[in-house]
């Protein structure tokens, strides 16, 4: 994060975290408070380590992280993660069609386990299948790796489908109150009639009218294998977004020792700052240019020829082995 970006973020968050000076002591400035919070999110260091770096008490660091993380979410969520409306869903679908060649897709959905220290008297609520304790981050991501919907706080014991079912987003998806665009005809597939706008997920999610998952099994027809390939290609957007999030905010790569409430605030703050930073990279040339679709059918799944180990040897080595 450059100084200019930090100053812009401070201008949005600063009014919410500014403290008044008293005749007993001077308050910690908003710039230092924001730096302490970002340092914790970016490194995951202990409060004592950060306290030594900034020469403040570790209890002060604990208070600052909780308050500033909540202020970041409050200050940025309306601008950088608003509730999507119908026009927003249409723009997301256009992005998936252009960038990932998957029409009528309004987002990729998946869950991520945020590893935490086992809360006191929590039993097995937070114990997951990876034999760790965690909170579940359920997210919907658009074609540009931005988080459009996040739900944090699910128990680690819940599966992805259980987390979806228990979330407000899952309830809205089930009762049809998400304001998704009406069904449309996909160019080139007019014979299939009107098709709904859908989210794409992996095998852990249920099959719904507006939620697609891959075909199960191994012995599939070519048409189904091509469908699974296209769906997996679009779904990997959310996996990449989680990877970018974890690489920027290393707190997510450690065991978080704070309470579940503070962890939830920190994860939400990391997601909305992720969107704040991603807005500055959209439109820049990609390191790996993506070829635009020409509308023609391309062989996406071609049989690879069988190659023996001798194909990697030069002529002298082959002659030596023959001798």
More confident residue, 292 or 121: 121
pLDDT of residue 312: 44
Is the model's pLDDT at 95 over the cut of 60?
A: yes
Q: From the CB of residue 192, how many other CB atoms can be counted at a distance below 10 Å?
A: 9
What pLDDT shows up at residue 279? 86
- Over residues 301-318, the mean pLDDT reads 47
pLDDT of residue 289: 52
Say what the pLDDT of residue 59 is: 94
The reported pTM is 0.82
pLDDT at 292: 53
Place 301 in a pLDDT band, splitting at 50, 70 and 90.
Answer: very low
| Residue 155 backbone dihedrals phi, psi, to 5 degrees | -65, 145
On average, the pLDDT of the chain sits at 85
Indicate if the pLDDT at residue 310 is higher than 80.
Answer: no
Query: What pLDDT sits at residue 284?
Result: 61
Whether the pLDDT of residue 315 is over 80: the answer is no
Helical (H) or strand (E) element with 243: helix 222-248
Between residues 305 and 150, the one the model is more confident about: 150
What are 183-242's pLDDT values in tens digits?
Answer: 888 887 778 888 889 999 988 888 888 899 999 888 888 889 988 999 999 999 999 999
Mean per-residue pLDDT for 114-137? 90
Residue 306 has pLDDT above 70, yes or no: no
- Please tell me the distance from the alpha carbon of residue 281 to that of residue 5, in angstroms, as a whole number: 12
DSSP SS3 for 101: coil
Give the pLDDT score at 297. Answer: 46
Q: Judge whether residue 286 has pLDDT over 80.
A: no
Distance CA 84, CA 275 (A): 14
Distance (Å, rounded) from C-alpha 117 to C-alpha 129? 15
- Residue 246 has a pLDDT of 93
Q: What is the pLDDT of residues 150-198, one digit of tens each?
A: 999 889 888 888 888 888 888 888 888 888 988 888 887 778 888 889 9
What is the mean predicted confidence (pLDDT) over 42-64?
93
3-state secondary structure 140-208: EECCCCCEEEEEEEEECCCCHHHHHHHCHHHHHHHHCCCCCCCCEECCCCHHHCEECCEEECCCCCCCE
pLDDT (tens digit per residue) in 19-48: 888 888 888 899 999 999 999 999 989 999
Tokens 């999507």, located at residue: 84
Say if residue 66's pLDDT is above 90: yes
Check pLDDT > 90 for residue 267: yes
């Amino acid at each position: 994060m450059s100084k200019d970006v930090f100053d812009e973020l401070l201008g949005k968050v600063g009014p919410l975290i500014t403290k008044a000076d008293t005749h007993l002591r001077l308050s910690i400035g908003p710039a230092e408070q924001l730096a302490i919070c970002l340092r914790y999110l970016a490194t995951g260091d202990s409060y004592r380590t950060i306290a030594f770096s900034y020469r403040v008490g570790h209890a002060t660091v604990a208070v600052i992280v909780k308050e500033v993380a909540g202020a970041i979410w409050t200050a940025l969520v309306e601008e950088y993660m608003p509730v999507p409306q119908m026009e927003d869903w249409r723009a997301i679908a256009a992005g998936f069609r252009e960038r990932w060649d998957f029409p009528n897709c309004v987002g990729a959905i998946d869950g991520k386990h945020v590893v935490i220290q086992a809360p006191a008297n929590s039993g097995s609520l937070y114990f997951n299948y990876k034999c760790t304790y965690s909170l579940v981050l359920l997210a919907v991501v658009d074609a540009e790796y931005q988080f459009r919907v996040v739900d944090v706080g699910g128990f680690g014991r819940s599966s992805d489908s259980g987390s979806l079912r228990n979330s407000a987003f899952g309830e809205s998806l089930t009762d049809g109150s998400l304001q998704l665009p009406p069904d449309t005809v996909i160019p080139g597939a007019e014979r299939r009639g009107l098709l709904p706008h859908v989210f794409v997920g992996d095998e852990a999610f249920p099959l719904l009218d507006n939620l697609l998952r891959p075909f199960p099994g191994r012995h599939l027809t070519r048409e189904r294998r091509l469908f699974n390939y296209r769906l997996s290609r679009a779904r990997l957007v959310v996996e990449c977004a989680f990877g970018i999030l974890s690489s920027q905010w290393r707190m997510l790569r450690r065991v978080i020792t704070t309470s579940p409430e503070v962890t939830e605030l920190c994860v939400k703050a990391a997601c909305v700052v992720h969107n704040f930073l991603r807005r500055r990279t959209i439109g820049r040339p990609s390191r790996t240019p993506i070829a635009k679709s020409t509308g023609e059918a391309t062989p996406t799944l071609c049989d690879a020829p069988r190659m023996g180990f001798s194909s990697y040897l030069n002529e002298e080595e082959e002659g030596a082995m023959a001798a």
